[in-house]
Amino acid sequence: MADIRTSRRFPVQLPLKVLGDEKIPIGSTSNISAAGAYLLVNGVMELDSAIEFEITIPGETIGTHDDVRLYCQGRVVRCDRDKESGRNGVACVIEGYEFLRDAEVGGK
């Protein structure tokens, strides 16, 4: 299988919340790039389904006083089982994102 990644991935574990119809409430990133992310979640996602998720970047990681929340929209391109964590691995392409203010929830 060919590796189709288009940008460098960084191995960062950030808390996330999956939004929308899938109702998978928690998880974390395993790695992330400008074009995509590999998520570890507690539920099953369908291949080629739309995904909305919110990543929390701790303020101390990027040198700010407050955490930063990032709302992402993407598409699931691969699903597998992560043996180390016992969670499901979800590779997704990030099609759009925006930074959230404290009053915003789920990108709205």
Q: Where are the domains of the chain?
A: 15-100
Query: Using alpha carbons only, what angle is made at residue 17 by residues 38 and 81, rounded to the nearest 5 degrees?
Result: 40
Express each pLDDT in 5-36 by its tens digit: 567 888 888 888 887 655 555 788 999 888 99
Q: Note if the pTM is more than 0.85.
A: no
CA 19 to CA 29: how far, in whole Å?
15
At 3 the pLDDT is 52
Express each pLDDT in 49-78 by its tens digit: 999 999 988 888 888 889 989 999 999 999
CATH class of segment(s) 15-100 = mainly beta
